[in-house]
Amino acid sequence: MPNTTATARDVTLSCDVARVGDEIVFSYSLANAGREAVVVLEAAALRDAATGRAAAATTWLGEDGQTHELKGTPPLPASADPETPPVARGVRLEPGKRLERRHAERLPLAEHSPHVPLDTLDNYCLAPIQGVALTVEVVPALPGLVAEAREIARGWWRVADPEAAAGLAQRLTCAFRARGLFMLARKDDYPRPALPKPAAPEGSAV
């Protein structure tokens, strides 16, 4: 199983990826080697209309030809109210601790987000992909920047100041080469996150 890592400041993302049946599965962990706690963003505050669960990721086809999975703040579509910023939630990661997680996407991969759910096939075109990449967003656990999300469940935190968090967030990306995989890319003005730079595939092919 391929494995790769990415580090930003004192937080390290380690990730494996595998094709399991009709899913691409990312098994990943985050380790905090710093002196301050951080919040690892896991999902949007919105809920998936089909499952009723918190929307877990934003998926899109990048300019680098890879399918990207973002565990973090989803971009707003053009039709969204600009006065209502997207809100992400996550869990606190204390200094010296490690967090283990798993994220799966069903094949065929398709563009979707907490704001834009999966649509009918006629709204997509099929495109080959060069790889798959997982990006996890982390923000400092600063008072005023994040707050306990007690209305959700114990142990959950939410971004209390999205504007400030946008400037302090760290994005860690692990990328893997892919063989024979395709993605359903949307034909409309689907909002795709802007990454600081393309994530070059590092791990073995999946």
DSSP readout, 58-89? EEEE-TTSEEEEEESPPPPPTTS-TTS---EE
CA 92 to chain centre: 16
* Residue 117 and residue 50 in contact, taking contact as beta carbons nearer than 8 Å: yes
In a domain, 105, yes or no: yes
Per-residue b or e along 177-198, where b marks 16 or more CB atoms closer than 10 Å to that residue's CB: bbeebebbbbeeebbbbebeee
Q: What is the pLDDT of residues 46-60, one digit of tens each?
A: 555 555 455 578 999
> What pLDDT score was predicted for residue 82?
64
> What pLDDT score was predicted for residue 60?
96
From CA 177, how far away is CA 175, in angstroms rounded? 7
Give 138's strand partners: 40, 170
DSSP letter (8 states) at residue 164: H
Q: Supply 103's token pair.
A: 């994220």
Is this prediction's pTM over 0.75? yes
Give 126's strand partners: 184
In a domain, 118, yes or no: yes
pLDDT < 50: residue spans in the chain: 1, 52
Backbone angles phi, psi at 22, to 5 degrees: -100, 30
Q: Tell me the residue range of the domain where 168 lies.
A: 3-186
In a domain, 101, yes or no: yes
In a domain, 85, yes or no: yes
In a domain, 81, yes or no: yes
In a domain, 126, yes or no: yes
> What pLDDT score was predicted for residue 117?
87
Whether the upstream peptide bond of residue 75 has omega within 30° of 0, thus cis, is: no
In a domain, 32, yes or no: yes
From CA 200, how far away is CA 195, in angstroms rounded? 12
Q: Which helix (H) or strand (E) holds 25?
A: strand 23-32
> What pLDDT score was predicted for residue 43?
67
Give 28's strand partners: 15, 101
In a domain, 163, yes or no: yes
Report the domain count for the chain.
1
Q: Supply 11's token pair.
A: 């937080």
